[in-house]
Chains A and B, each alone.
Chain A
Amino acid sequence: MKEKRSLLRNSGFQTFSTSILCILLGMFVGYLALLIIEPSGAWGAIVAVIKNFFKYPTGAARLKYFGSTLAKTAPLIFCSLSILFAYKVGLFNIGAAGQYCLGVALALYLAIVLQLPWWVCLLAGIAAGAISGAICGLLKAYFNVNVVISGIMLNWISLYGTNLLLKPAMDPSGKDTFRLVNKAKQALLPTLGMDKLFNNNQYVTIAIPLAIIVAIVIWIILDKTKLGYELKATGNNLHAAKYCGMKENRNIILTMVIAGGLAAMGGALYYLSDFEQWNVNSSAVPGMGFNGIAAAFLGGLSPIGSIFSSYFITHITIGGGNVDLSHYCAQIADFISAVIIYLCGFVLFFKTIMNKWLNKSEEKKIARARAAAEDTNKEGGNA
C-alpha cells in the first residue's frame, strides 16, 4: 500500500516554498537598506521595484513595457539554463558571462560588418560560446583546472576580445555599435507578428518563445534521456560513472559545450533583437551571466522553474530603474538579487530544518496514538 505523504514532504513543494522564502527575505533586506539610506521614501521605492511596468496608467503602455520585460527575460532564461545544466553535471559555469559576450561579439560582427542574415549570425554566436565552453571543459577534463577560475579568466579574455572585435562595428557618433535597424536590417530577428500583440513593441521577437522551447528541451534531455542520465551520473560521482563504462571526460566537455552554447545563444538573440547596443569600451563583464546564477538557483535548478525565476529577476531589475533617483539608485535591485542568491545557498539548510520538524511532529503523533491505545487497553482490563 502506498503511504499517504504530507504535501510538506513533497520536494517540489519544498523547493517552491524555500524560493518564496528567499524572495521575501531578500526583499525585506532590500527594504531595510532603503530605510537606512532615506526612511521617508523607502516604501515608495520598494513598491516601484515590485510594480515595474504596472506604474503606467494605461493598459496599452503596460502591455508594451510587459513586452520589453519579456524581451529582457529571454536572454536571462538562456543564461540560467546554461548554469543549471552545468551544475547538474557538477560543474559551476561561472563563465556564462563570457560565453554570453562571445555570442554577442560574433552575432554583431557578422550582422554589421559582414552583413549576413540573422540565422547565420545566431549560429556563429552559439558556436563561439560553445568553443569557449569547450576550452573550459578540456582544461577541466585533461588538466584538472578548476572550472570557476578558468571561467573567470575566460570572462575577462572574452570581454576584451569582444571590445576588440566590435571596434569596426562602432557607430562613430558614440561608443556603441550601430543599431541594426539602421545598418543591418537583414540581421534583425523575425517577430512573427508578436510585436502587434504587445502594442507594436518591435523588441518582442522569436527569442521569447525560443527561450521557453529550449527550456523544455533541456528539461527533456536532463530528465528523460540516456544522455541526461549519464551526464548527471558523471556529476554525482565521477569515479563510479567511469567504472560503469561512461566516458567521463567526454561527458564533462560535452556538458560545457552545451552550457557555453546556451549562454551565447542568449547573448546573440538579445543583441539581434536590437534592444541594446554593445559599448566597445566596456570595462565590466555584463551582469546577465551572473544574474543567470541567481535565476538558476532561485528556480530550484529546474529548467521550468528557471523561466519563472528569470522573469522575476528581470522584473525587479527593470523596476529598480524606477526608484526615486534623487535619493536611491537603480542598483538596489542588483543588491536584492545578490541577497537572494546568498540565501539560496541555505536552501539545503532550510529543507533539513523542515524535514526535522516534520519528523518530530510525526513521532509525537505516533507516540500520542500509542499512549491513547495503551490507555484504552488498561481501561478494558479493569472492566
Chain B
Amino acid sequence: MLLLLQYTLIFASVLLLVALGGCISEHSGVINLALEGIMVIGALGGALVMKFLPYTHGESSAFLMFICVLGASILFGVIYSILLAFACINLKADQTIVGTALNMLATALATVVVKSMNTALNPDDHSSEIKYIDAKKAFLTNIGKFELNWFMIVSVLMLVIVFILLYKTKFGLRLRACGEHPQAAASVGISVFKMRWSGVMLSGLLAGIGGITYITAGVSTWKFENGVAGFGFLALAVMIFGAWDPIKIAGAALLFGLFRALGNVYNGFDFLKALNIPSAVYNMLPYIVSLIVLAFTSKRSRAPKAEGIPYDKGMR
C-alpha cells in the first residue's frame, strides 16, 4: 500500500510539473505539443550530470548533486524549448507540426548523443542506456519505509510558484491577456512576443524538471531510444482535465498518477493478482482513463481563446 502511495506521488509529480509547463505556455497563447520532446532532452541533461559528476553515497554532498542535476535539466529543457518558441512565435509556423517534429527530433537526438557517447567510451557498447544507480541515491530520503524523492517537493514548490506567478503578479495577468486576446494586450503596450517567449521558456523549464523526475521514478537506468512513453501527452490530458487551472491540475495529476502507479505495483495486491489480468491491460489503463476523462471534460472547454493562433498585428 505504501508502495502504491509512493509511486502515485512520484508519477503525479511528473505529470504535475509537465502539465504546469503546458498550462503556462497555453495561457501565453502557444500550444506546446513538444512537451514530450522537452522532457526527453531535460532527462538527458540530468542523466549526463548523474553519469559524469563523481558521487559516492554518504560521502559526497547530496545537495550539490541534486542542484547540478536540477540545473542541467532546466538548462537543457529551456534551450530545447527555444526551438519551439522561435519557430512558432517568430516564424509563425504551424504549432502542431513543429511540436511533433520536436518530439521526434528529441528522441533521435538523445539516442544519437547517448549511443555515440557510449561507443566513444567503450567501442563494443552500442546501447542507448545511461546508468545512474549510485547518483540517484543522492535525492532519495527514507522516511520509515517510504522513499521520499526530492523532486516530489520540487513539484509542490513549483505548484505554489506557478499559482502565484499566474494569478497574483502583473506578469501573470499580462501573460494570460496574450493568450486570450493578444491584439488587445498589444494595444495597451504589452509585448506579445516577449510574453509568449517567456511562456514557452517557462514551460521548457518545468518540462525539463519533469523529464528528469520521470526517469528517476522507480528505475536507475534509462534507455533513451524509448523516449518518455507518451507522458508529455498524458500531461496535456491532465492539463485539459484540470481546466487550465493549477490547483485543479494538481488534483488531476494525482488521479492519473494513481492509474499509472497501478501498472507498477499491482503484483503487490492479492486481490488484483487473483484477477489474473495481463500486465498489458494495466499498461493501457492510464491512456484509457484519459480518453474517457477527456470525452467528458472537453465539451465545455476553458482553453485560452487565442491559443494555437500565431500572433498577427493586423488581425482584429
Contacts and interface: CB of A to CB of B under 8 A. Distances in A.
B101 A345 contact: yes
Given A329-B119, A331-B111, A145 B91 contact: no
Contacts of A164: 278, 280-281
A94 B301 CA distance: 22
B132 to A, nearest CB: 20
Contacts of A139: 291, 294-295
B226 interface: yes
Select the residue from A150, A329, A334 with max chain B CB neighbours within 10 A: A329
A329 B126 contact: yes
A238 interface: no
Select the residue from B105, B123, B226, B229 with max chain A CB neighbours within 10 A: B105
Contacts of B233: 148-149, 152-153
A69 B226 CA distance: 25
Contacts of B264: none
A146 B98 CA distance: 17
Contacts of A244: none
A23 to B, nearest CB: 14
Interface stretch (B155-163, B193-201, B282-290): B282-290
A345 B34 CA distance: 13
B137 to A, nearest CB: 26
Contacts of A160: 280-281, 283-284
A297 interface: yes
B237 A335 contact: no
B109 interface: yes
A331 B240 contact: no
B291 A150 contact: yes
B97 A156 contact: no
A329 B298 contact: no
A94 B102 CA distance: 14
B112 A332 contact: yes
A144 B97 contact: no
Interface stretch (A183-191, A220-228, A336-344, A373-381): A336-344
A153 B280 contact: no
B108 A149 contact: no
A331 B301 CA distance: 39
B108 A331 contact: yes
Interface string B95-129: 01110111011011101100110011001001000
B236 A149 contact: yes
B229 A341 contact: no
Contacts of B98: 342, 345
A155 interface: yes
Nearest to A339: B105
Contacts of A331: 108, 111-112, 115, 225
Interface string A147-187: 01110111111001101100000000000000000000000
Contacts of B112: 33, 37, 329, 331-332, 335
A149 B33 CA distance: 9
B64 interface: no
A290 B105 CA distance: 11
A170 to B, nearest CB: 13
B299 interface: yes
Contacts of B100: 92, 94, 290, 293, 341
Nearest to B102: A342
B116 A284 contact: no
A149 B123 contact: no
A283 B222 CA distance: 13
Contact of A327 (B94, B119, B301): B119
A43 interface: no
A243 interface: no
Contact of A328 (B104, B116, B237, B278): B116
Contacts of B226: 283-284
A349 B280 contact: no
B62 interface: no
Name the prevailing secondary structure of the A interface residues: helix
Contacts, number: 150
Contacts of A334: 104, 107-108, 111
Interface size class of A (residues with CB under 8 A): 35 or more
Interface string A319-331: 0000001111101
B104 A341 contact: yes
Contacts of A290: 100, 104
B268 interface: no
B87 interface: yes
A338 B237 CA distance: 25
B287 A346 contact: no
B165 interface: no
A281 B283 CA distance: 12
A197 interface: no
B101 to A, nearest CB: 4
A303 B132 CA distance: 47
B97 A297 contact: yes
A349 B108 contact: no
Interface in A12-70: 33, 37-38
Given A145-B295, A155-B230, A335-B109, A341 B278 contact: no
A348 interface: yes
11 contacts: A92-B96, A148-B33, A153-B288, A284-B225, A284-B226, A290-B100, A294-B104, A329-B116, A334-B107, A341-B100, A348-B94
Interface of B: 33, 83, 87, 91-94, 96-98, 100-102, 104-105, 107-109, 111-112, 115-116, 119-120, 123, 126, 225-227, 229-230, 233-234, 236-237, 240, 278, 280-281, 283-284, 287-288, 290-291, 294-296, 298-299, 301
Interface of A: 33, 37-38, 92, 94, 139, 143-146, 148-150, 152-157, 160-161, 163-164, 283-284, 290, 293-294, 297, 325-329, 331-332, 334-335, 337-339, 341-342, 344-346, 348-349
Given A92-B100, A342-B87, A342-B102, 20 more contacts: A94-B100, A143-B294, A143-B299, A144-B298, A144-B299, A146-B236, A148-B33, A149-B236, A149-B237, A149-B290, A154-B287, A283-B229, A284-B225, A329-B111, A337-B104, A338-B101, A342-B83, A344-B97, A345-B94, A345-B98
